[in-house]
Amino acid sequence: MKNKVRIYDTTLRDGSQAEGITFSVSDKLLMAKKFDDLGISYIEGGWPGSNPKDMHFFDSLRKIRVEKAKIAAFGSTRRAKNKVAKDPNIQALLKARTPVVTIFGKSSVLHVKNVLKISKEENLKLIYDSVNYLKSRHKEVFFDAEHFFDGFELDPEYALESILAAERAGADCIVLCDTNGGTLVSRLCDVISKVKCELKIPFGIHTHNDAGLATANSLSAVELGAVQVQGTINGYGERSGNANLCEIIPALKIKMKIDCVSSVQLGHLKEVSRFVDELANVRHNNKMPYVGDSAFAHKAGVHVNAVQKDKTSYEHMNPALVGNKRRILISDLSGQSNVLLKAIEYGLDVKDKSPEAKKILSDLKELEKKGYEFEAAEASFDILMKKVLKKHKSFFDLEGFTVIDEKRTDSKLISVATVKVSVNGKEERTAAEGDGPVNALDNALRKALIPFYPAIANVRLTDFKVRVLDAKSGTAAKVRVLIESTDGKDMWGTVGVSENIIEASWEALVDSVEYKLFKDENIKNN
């Protein structure tokens, strides 16, 4: 096994093929710079022969500074009817002016016969001609052997002939592709063990996650000698996605002690993961290993108590190594250890086995019995602790509010909320419209408080969830409202419960605003 593996990122091309994922040229430029900073060895920018946007990206990329990563252009072997020097796809690869070119060719007789509809011999000539021509133009050339493992099942001799054709043509690396993502680890290892003995040049691995094995297959290939691993940030890709580099990079670096990025660069992995999600406009997967918010979250009281004594008791590694952090969750499964660690996290002084700790735990379990849930509403739990510790103060008092839905002549339903609050004895009454009753109420509340607390203007809701707690009660059922808020710097969650969705929403909104005000006050005092 090699002590150095080069990471090949294909988020900008293969990742953008995922359902619901689209990247603009500016998005791709930002990500390329971010991946370069992360220490990625190769960044695949796109397929210049398939669309003008990818060629625009390559043209634009030359104007920004990529320090160490090599940029690769991706494309197919020449078409059967074209001479290689006249093939539009091959010429587009050259026009991209990248130091690296990755081309894919068919390694499966099924695709040769049923998709390309050419002879096996002609397909081998396509592979040889394309690689040889690109090498004559002084490119570093990688050959992606598409459908290699499925092709090996059908005709192992031909699958091997396809990669040997690329090797004879001068390819720098042969990348074995599990394109359909259905190969089991044991079978993949068996095939690689047979194939690598026939190759004289390095080989890499490209896997998909259709069977949930992309990461395992990639790491197994490295154990068998692969020197290049292709994948995407957050596992973006067609169908069930590509191999997830946010799993592979820390596994290589931390678990297998293989150099792929520096320790400092690894510390930015979670940041990069979230950065890509933001550009893709998708919600971050909290359950993702290593970089997800839940990756090092502890809920059960027994677990929290153990982690408090020895962090390795329920953690496989130090979360800080990938830029993550430990989280203590609060629920009806919590023990006093959860409360104590959560209090420390929020800078509150709570002693072990103190009446205050017991009271917080008792109130927590009673509230969760009523339907409250604090795992995603830690700001509300912070306020609960402050109330028990008598450190809570009300920044404003509600005098009353009304919410009206109005159907107008243009057929658009408008919600209007009126809020009356009192701040230090001074009353403020405001009204605001919204796309719904909760949005209108939020707008009216913040409008009323901004004259007293200008920082409230920066707060906005980023998510709003409603859960019916007892569906059997029909329209009289209790609902739980979870609200996620941000001030542009931090994010926090709050919760409200009531038979009335407006009242539950109001409760969560008030906690959100008070948390922001407490937070700013602490920053000011410190």
Residues 52 and 143 in one domain: yes
Residues 369 and 483 in one domain: no
- Is 1 inside any structural domain? no
- Is 517 inside any structural domain? yes
Residues 379 and 428 in one domain: no
0.85 cut: is pTM over it? no
Element (H, E) at 8: strand 6-9
Q: Domain with 482 in it: what CATH number?
A: 3.30.160.270
Among residues 261, 286, 319, the one where a domain terminates is 261
Q: String of b and e for 336-371 (b: at least 16 CB within 10 Å)?
A: bbbbbbbbeebebebeeeeebbebbbebbeebbeeb
Residues 183 and 96 in one domain: yes
> What is the average pLDDT across 275-295?
89
- Is 101 inside any structural domain? yes
pLDDT at 352: 67
First to last CA, the chain: 52
CA–CA–CA angle 418, 419, 421 (5° rounding): 160
CA distance 121 to 159: 12
- pLDDT for 381-400, tens place per residue? 888 777 777 777 788 888 99
Q: Domain with 47 in it: what CATH number?
A: 3.20.20.70
> What is the average pLDDT across 192-201?
96
Q: Predicted confidence band at 526 (pLDDT cuts at 50, 70, 90)?
A: low
Residues 331 and 449 in one domain: no
- For 118, phi then psi, to 5°, come to -130, 175
Q: What is the DSSP secondary-structure string of 254-283?
A: IIS--BSS-HHHHTTHHHHHHHHHHHHT--
In the predicted model, what is the mean pLDDT of the chain?
A: 88
Residues 247 and 111 in one domain: yes
CA distance 166 to 107: 11
- pLDDT for 442-472, tens place per residue? 899 989 999 999 988 888 888 888 888 775 6
Among residues 351, 385, 419, the one where a domain terminates is 385
- Is 282 inside any structural domain? no
Domain total of the chain: 3
Among residues of the chain, what percentage have pLDDT more than 90?
A: 55
Q: Predicted confidence band at 76 (pLDDT cuts at 50, 70, 90)?
A: very high
Task: Provide the residue range defining the domain that includes 34.
Answer: 6-261
Among residues 385, 418, 451, the one where a domain terminates is 385
Could you tell me how many helices (H) and strands (E) the chain has, helices first?
18, 16
- Is 290 inside any structural domain? no
pLDDT at 363: 76
Q: Which residue has the higher pLDDT, 520 or 107?
A: 107
The three state secondary structure string of 470-514 is CHHHHHHCCEEEEEEEECCCCEEEEEEEECCHHHHHHHHHHHHHH
CA distance 379 to 507: 12
Enumerate the β-bridge partners of residue 428: 421
Residues 256 and 120 in one domain: yes
Q: Which residue has the higher pLDDT, 91 or 522?
A: 91
Amino acid code (one letter) for 483: I
Please report the beta strands in 94-202, taking only residues with DSSP state E, as ranges in sequence order: 100-106, 140-146, 173-178
- For 396, phi then psi, to 5°, come to -160, 160
> What is the average pLDDT across 306-313?
80
Q: Predicted confidence band at 413 (pLDDT cuts at 50, 70, 90)?
A: confident
- Is 391 inside any structural domain? no
- Is 287 inside any structural domain? no
- Name the nearest CA neighbour of 171 among 105, 232, 225: 105
Q: Does the pLDDT at position 208 exceed 80?
A: yes
Residues 337 and 442 in one domain: no
- Is 284 inside any structural domain? no
Element (H, E) at 301: helix 301-309
Residues 353 and 437 in one domain: no
Residues 404 and 371 in one domain: no
DSSP 8-state code for residue 115: I
Element (H, E) at 416: strand 413-423
Residues 371 and 421 in one domain: no
CA distance 275 to 63: 22
Residues 224 and 151 in one domain: yes
CA distances from 50 to 56, 73, 133, 160 (A): 12, 11, 20, 28
- pLDDT for 475-495, tens place per residue? 567 888 888 888 888 888 898
